[in-house]
A and B are shown apart, each in its own frame.
Chain A
Amino acid sequence: MTAAAIEPSRGEAARDDRVAHRPLAARLLSRPEVGSLIGAIVIFALFMAVAPPFRNVANVGTILYGASTIGIMAVPVALLMIGGEFDLSAGVAVTTSGLSASLLAWNFGLNVWVGILLALVVSVAVGAFNGWLLFKTGLPSFLVTLATFFILQGVNLGVTRLLTGNVATADITDMDGFHSAHTMFGSEVTVGPVTLKITVLYWVVLTLVAAYVLLRTRVGNWIFAVGGDAAAARAVGVPVKATKIGLFMAVGFCAWLSGMHLLFQFNTVQSGEGVGKEFIFIIAAVIGGCLLTGGYGSVVGASIGALIFGMTQLGINYAGWNPDWFKTFLGVMLLLATIVNVYVKKKADLR
Chain B
Amino acid sequence: MSAVTTDRSAAPVLQLDNVGFSYGNVHALRDVSINVRQGEVTCVLGDNGAGKSTLIKIIAGLHDYTDGAMKLDGVECRFASPRAAQAGGIATVYQDLALAPLMSVWRNFFLGNELRKGPLRTLDIARMKRICDEELTKMGVVIPDLDRPVGGLSGGQRQCIAIARAIYFGARVIILDEPTAALGVKQSSVVLRYIVKARDAGLGVIFITHNPHHAYLVGNHFVILKLGRVVLDAHRDALTLEQLTREMAGGQELEELSHELSGVDPGRVAAPAEVAPGHVESPVLNPDELAAIEREEEEEQTA
Contact = CB atoms under 8 A, between A and B. Distances in A.
Contact of A237 (B83, B137, B144, B145): B83
23 contacts: A1-B190, A1-B193, A3-B139, A4-B140, A12-B133, A216-B122, A216-B125, A218-B123, A220-B123, A221-B110, A221-B111, A225-B100, A228-B100, A229-B98, A229-B100, A231-B98, A232-B100, A233-B100, A234-B82, A237-B113, A239-B83, A295-B103, A296-B102
A268 B101 CA distance: 47
Interface stretch (A13-21, A92-100, A154-162, A302-310): A13-21
Nearest to A226: B100
Interface of B: 60, 62, 81-83, 86, 92, 94, 96-103, 107, 110-114, 116, 121-123, 125, 130, 133-134, 137-140, 142, 144-147, 152, 165, 189-190, 193, 197
A283 B101 CA distance: 24
Contacts, number: 116
Contacts of B116: 217-218
Interface residues of A, number: 37
Contact of B114 (A11, A218, A235): A218
Nearest to B141: A3
Contacts of A4: 138-140, 193, 197
Contact of A18 (B110, B145, B152, B165): B145
Nearest to B189: A1
Interface in A228-249: 228-229, 231-239
Given A232-B99, A296-B102, A349-B152, A237 B82 contact: yes
Most buried by A among B114, B147, B165: B114
Contacts of A236: 82, 86, 98, 111-113, 165
A224 interface: yes
A239 B193 CA distance: 33
Given A217-B121, A218-B116, A218-B123, A233 B111 contact: yes
Contacts of A11: 133-134, 137-138
Given A4-B197, A218-B123, A349-B152, A225 B139 contact: no
Contact of A235 (B92, B102, B140, B142): B92
B84 to A, nearest CB: 9
Interface in A80-125: none
Nearest to A235: B98
A297 to B, nearest CB: 10
B112 A14 contact: no
Nearest to B132: A15
A224 B190 CA distance: 31
A19 B137 contact: no
A29 to B, nearest CB: 13
Most buried by B among A12, A236, A349: A236
A21 B147 CA distance: 13
A22 interface: yes
Contact of B144 (A21, A220, A221, A228): A21
Most buried by B among A27, A222, A234, A239: A234
A160 B271 CA distance: 84
Contacts of A6: 137-138
Contacts of B133: 11-12, 15
Contacts of A27: 145, 147
Nearest to A238: B112
